[in-house]
């Protein structure tokens, strides 16, 4: 398997001799430098041990703190104040919005290995067009939280048995105080390791909690299906496929082929989830 990003390349596989042959072929065609075992890729650091592999962005995070003058700041215990809701009505517009946009854009790249700040970054990203003074403090709090958790990242343990694929989905109904659109999110775990996650505002206002939960389930199902196809290309078949949601109405709609008149507006999402559920049961 070869991963290419512009002029940075990762070559991996389970046959060392084939990897060496491929590097020789590429070396004859292009000017290349073999850096050996993977340790850093696009600012993402890789640490290996007998138990597995850990990826972090510690150096990138330190550069961010220094760049925005927070390298000596006091760490924050959480990326956001508990229960805090950012609103366009808060505070006054900032004088230099480009600084806010630069900070938030840099935080977005940090979410590649830090799912714990994804929701908070999603919140501050919604005001790039008209940032307020209050939002700058919220963005800097995320950096202060990162200051106290520099070594945090994603750990992928060595898989010793047939792995399973588990997805979680959720949404907060009408969570945005300005538009009352819901914030949906999902996470997908493979062999107990987090591999996919997202936090995103829905495009339209949901008139029921079942509707927005069903849409979150649909997104999680789509991502899980894509990853399952990727695993099949790698010759890996998950032992189990599970989707978890905490809304009984959304679960029943995804399981029951008969629709009530009040639920026709979410029929497509539920049909999609139900279809994938049947396919998974046949393929497992």
Domains and CATH numbers, the chain: 2-36 (no CATH), 58-147 (no CATH), 159-283 (3.30.420.10)
Could you give the CA distance from residue 262 to residue 180 in angstroms, rounded to a whole number? 21
Could you give the CA distance from residue 54 to residue 155 in angstroms, rounded to a whole number? 4
Q: Which two tokens stand for residue 260?
A: 């009530």
Could you report how far apart the first and last alpha carbons of the chain are, in Å? 25
Q: Which two tokens stand for residue 261?
A: 């008149």
| pLDDT single digits (tens) 178-208 | 666 777 788 888 888 888 888 777 766 666 6
What's the mean pLDDT when you consider all of the chain?
80
Question: What is the per-residue pLDDT for 56?
Answer: 94
Quickly state the pLDDT bin for 230 (edges 50, 70, 90): confident
Q: Which two tokens stand for residue 270?
A: 């539920």
Residue 15, CA atoms < 13 Å, CB-side half-sphere: 6
Question: What is the per-residue pLDDT for 77?
Answer: 92
Give the CA distances from residue 227 to residues 13, 56, 190, in Å, rounded to whole numbers and listed in that order: 18, 22, 10
> What is the dihedral sign for C-alpha 154, 160, 165, 169?
negative
Could you give the CA distance from residue 105 to residue 202 in angstroms, rounded to a whole number? 21
- Three-state secondary structure call for residue 215: helix
């Amino acid at each position: 398997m070869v991963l290419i990003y512009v002029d940075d390349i990762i070559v991996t596989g389970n046959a060392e001799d084939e990897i060496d042959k491929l590097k020789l072929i590429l070396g004859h065609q292009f000017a290349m430098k073999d850096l050996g075992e993977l340790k850093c890729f696009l600012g993402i650091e890789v640490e290996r041990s007998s138990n597995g592999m850990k990826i972090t962005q510690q150096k990138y995070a330190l550069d961010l703190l220094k760049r925005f003058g927070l390298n000596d700041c006091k760490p924050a215990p959480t990326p956001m104040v508990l229960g805090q809701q950012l609103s366009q009505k808060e505070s006054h517009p900032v004088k230099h919005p480009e600084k806010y946009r630069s900070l938030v854009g840099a935080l977005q790249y940090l979410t590649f290995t830090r799912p714990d700040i994804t929701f908070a970054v999603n919140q501050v990203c919604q005001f790039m067009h008209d940032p307020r003074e209050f939002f700058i403090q919220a963005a800097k709090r995320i950096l202060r939280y990162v200051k106290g958790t520099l070594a945090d990242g994603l750990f992928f343990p060595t898989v010793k048995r047939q792995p399973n694929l588990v997805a979680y989905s959720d949404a907060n109904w009408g969570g945005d105080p300005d538009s009352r659109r819901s914030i949906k999110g999902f996470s997908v775990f493979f062999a107990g390791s987090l591999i996919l996650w997202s936090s995103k505002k829905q495009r339209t206002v949901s008139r029921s909690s079942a509707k927005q939960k069903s849409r979150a389930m649909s997104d999680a199902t789509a991502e899980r299906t894509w990853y399952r196809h990727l695993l099949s290309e790698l010759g890996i078949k998950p032992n189990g496929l599970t989707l978890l949601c905490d809304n009984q109405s959304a679960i029943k709609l995804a399981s029951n082929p008969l629709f009530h008149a009040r639920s026709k507006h979410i029929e497509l999402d539920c049909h999609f989830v139900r279809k994938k559920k049947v396919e998974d049961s046949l393929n497992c």
